[in-house]
Amino acid sequence: MNDSSSGTATTTARPATQPTGRPTIWWPALAGIVAGALTVSVAELLAALLVRSGHSQGTPSPVVALGQAFIDRTPLWLKNLAVSTFGTHDKQALLTGIAAVVVVVAAVAGIVAARHRVAGLLVVVAMAAVAGFAVLSRPKSSGTDLFPLVIGTVVGLFALSKLLDRWARSDLARADDPADTPSTRIDGDLARRSFLRALAGGGAFAVLAGVGAQVIAHASRAVQASRAALALPAPTGATPTPAQLAGLDVPGLSPMVTPPEDFYRIDTALSVPQLSTQDWHLRVHGMVEHEIRMTFADLLALPMIERQTTLTCVSNEVGGDLIGNQVWLGHPIRELLARAQPTQDADMVLSTSIDGFTAGTPLEALTDDHRDALLAVAMGGEPLPVEHGFPVRMVVPGLYGYVSATKWVVDLEVTRFDQAEGYWTPRGWSALGPIKTGSRIDVPRGKAKAGKVAVAGVAWAQHRGIERVEVRVDEGAWAPARLGDGGTADTWKQWVYEWDASPGKHTLQVRATDAQDDVQTGDEATPAPNGATGWHTVSVTIT
Ligand SMILES: Nc1nc2c(c(=O)[nH]1)N[C@H]1C(S)=C(S)[C@@H](COP(=O)(O)O)O[C@H]1N2
Ligand SMILES: [Mo]
């Protein structure tokens, strides 16, 4: 490089080449940087979309994951040095540092790839692998979190390859080539234009994708911050006792309380609504004497109770997992309605989510003194996860989610079933959705050793309560299972049956009886229009 004084590739329109015909390294470096920018921006855009869709609990953003992984491994002295040097800008300094490293590595990848294509591409792959490990090392990460990085890397490798192909054919790479003829010169000129166009196009696309990623991630970050800043009020009155939360100790049995990350998620939202506590407002209106409007601060100032309630989706198949139990903190909806005073002829509350989803709930289920329907703000002692309705959702014991459990709820209209209908009603599901008595075998599944085998699972008849659970083997006599102590009438109950298993293939079945002495039906029904029925049946091979 004999003319480095002429500046960098970004400021020089057409860097000179050495008179020997050896090409300059600046154009391949620039191609590497554009390809690197494409890799990062595409990965960041897809990561932001993945988070917004609610399909990631981890940190799919490679830049954030790298930064976080770096922070976690920073020795204290360096951390202190960073804070004393950059103050509260230490995070920006770190991100700038990551960007600088990426630019250098991308430039090197371009330069190397110009001579040895595969070696250069491997530099990109190596960098992506480091970022991939960072992504996987974040809490709650899953394989899905790698998807944005993998797609971004493929786009980057492809871009680098194409850019360098054009560059190699252009007169930028072959200037002063002694073998130049008029015809190769025209080709070289064309290839140069196409290379420069692709370089500019790739750069522009990377900027757009990067800005898009920032805009999308910004809303999620604002809501994450709002969630992190939320100080939950203490519950009033009795809270679930340790005995009510205690589970049976059987390996493989669903825990009494479902961890939030394992809690099923069902909604119509392609992109999870991002609603901060500041932006949340509730209106209670319609057939009421007094309309109510409240902010989130108003809601938090009201008495909050804590209740254990098992949610169930009407789409849950026999033996399915669209059911989960949690401890919810919220304000009783009956107290709100007592203030609003529904008129005599009202019989339904149509709740609406910020994203337009609606549920029609019988008014009496919400005004009942003995049914703790909540305007919930917390799940398991934490603010609601965003995909489970942050900042406010409804939780109503005894009713399927589609007619009661509106997430991101912002509007309660008191009305009548003959005047309004919830989202799923015109789509083939019943207007009313009381939860049907059900039961599920969790263990054993598949195989077990002969001798004492714990057959165990959960059974539910929310708000009526479970009276007993029975198990039968190979369609023999029904035998009683032992119920766990945990739970209430509004939750599932764990159960276990000690089975003396003999070798061979066996069929296990379970049925529950609710506290009104109604036995779970063995008649098989599909989920539509108002919930599946039938006995959960599993085959086990005993060896
Ligand atoms: N806003 C909104 N709330 C909703 C839904 C929805 O599609 N949108 N689905 C309902 C259904 S069908 C069920 S079963 C529950 C599921 O709640 P979860 O995702 O927290 O488990 O949410 C209910 N609340
Ligand atoms: Mo549902």
**Ligand 1 atom closest to Cα of residue 354:** 1
Q: For atom 6 of ligand 1, which residue has the closest CA?
A: 267
Whether 424 lines ligand 1, by a CB cut-off of 6 Å, is: no
% helix / strand / coil in the chain, to the nearest 5? 40, 20, 40
The whole-number pLDDT of residue 177 equals: 57
Residue of 267, 323, 492 to mutate, ligand 1, most atoms within 8 A of C-beta:
267
pTM over 0.85? The answer is no
Domains, the chain: 26-219 (no CATH), 254-427 (3.90.420.10), 438-542 (2.60.40.650)
Tell me how many degrees the CA angle 42-133-51 measures, rounded to the nearest 5.
45
The whole-number pLDDT of residue 36 equals: 97
Least confident of 11-15, 65-69, 72-76, 335-339: 11-15
Whether 185 lines ligand 1, by a CB cut-off of 6 Å, is: no
Whether 308 lines ligand 1, by a CB cut-off of 6 Å, is: no
394 backbone dihedrals φ, ψ, rounded to 5°: -95, 145
Q: 176 pLDDT band (50/70/90 cuts)?
A: low
The whole-number pLDDT of residue 458 equals: 98
Query: How far is the C-alpha of 52 from the C-alpha of 45, rounded, in Å?
Result: 11
**Ligand 1 atom closest to Cα of residue 265:** 19
Whether 267 lines ligand 1, by a CB cut-off of 6 Å, is: yes
pLDDT(18) > 60:
no
Taking the centre of ligand 1 as the mean of its atom positions, its distance from the CA of residue 432, in whole angstroms, is 16
The most confident of 6-10, 81-85, 256-260, by mean pLDDT:
256-260
Greater pLDDT, 308 or 11? 308
Whether 266 lines ligand 1, by a CB cut-off of 6 Å, is: yes
Chain-centroid distance of CA 509 in Å reads 34
Q: For atom 10 of ligand 1, which residue has the closest CA?
A: 402
Taking the centre of ligand 1 as the mean of its atom positions, its distance from the CA of residue 359, in whole angstroms, is 9
Greater pLDDT, 73 or 124? 124
98 backbone dihedrals φ, ψ, rounded to 5°: -60, -45
Q: For atom 15 of ligand 1, which residue has the closest CA?
A: 401
> What DSSP string describes 31-100?
HHHHHHHHHHHHHHHHHHHHHHTT--SS---HHHHHHHHHHHH--HHHHHHHHHHHGGGHHHHHHHHHHH
Mean pLDDT, range 313-322, rounded to an integer: 97
For ligand 2, an ion, list residues with CB under 5 A.
266, 313, 401-402
Tell me how many degrees the CA angle 190-193-198 measures, rounded to the nearest 5.
125
Query: How far is the C-alpha of 388 from the C-alpha of 394, rounded, in Å?
Result: 10
Using one digit for the tens of pLDDT, what is the confidence trace for 366-403?
999 999 999 999 999 999 999 999 999 999 999 999 99
Whether 353 lines ligand 1, by a CB cut-off of 6 Å, is: yes
- Cα distances (angstroms) measured from residue 344 to each of 288, 341, 413: 9, 9, 15
Using one digit for the tens of pLDDT, what is the confidence trace for 87-114?
767 778 888 999 999 999 999 999 999 9
pLDDT(66) > 80:
yes
**Ligand 1 atom closest to Cα of residue 355:** 1
Query: How far is the C-alpha of 273 from the C-alpha of 279, rounded, in Å?
Result: 12
**Ligand 1 atom closest to Cα of residue 264:** 21
The whole-number pLDDT of residue 258 equals: 97
pLDDT(73) > 90:
no
Residue with token string 């989610």? 401
Taking the centre of ligand 2 as the mean of its atom positions, its distance from the CA of residue 524, in whole angstroms, is 19
Whether 396 lines ligand 1, by a CB cut-off of 6 Å, is: no
Taking the centre of ligand 1 as the mean of its atom positions, its distance from the CA of residue 351, in whole angstroms, is 12
Considering every ligand atom shown, identify the ligand nearest to the alpha carbon of residue 353 and give its number: 1
Q: For atom 18 of ligand 1, which residue has the closest CA?
A: 265
Whether 390 lines ligand 1, by a CB cut-off of 6 Å, is: no
Whether 376 lines ligand 1, by a CB cut-off of 6 Å, is: no
Closest by alpha carbon to 402, among 449, 366, 434, 380?
434
Taking the centre of ligand 1 as the mean of its atom positions, its distance from the CA of residue 405, in whole angstroms, is 6
Greater pLDDT, 219 or 175? 219
Whether 171 lines ligand 1, by a CB cut-off of 6 Å, is: no
- What is the share, in percent, of the chain residues with pLDDT greater than 70? 93
Sequence letter at residue 105: V
Mean pLDDT, range 51-79, rounded to an integer: 86
**What value does the mean pLDDT of the chain take?**
92
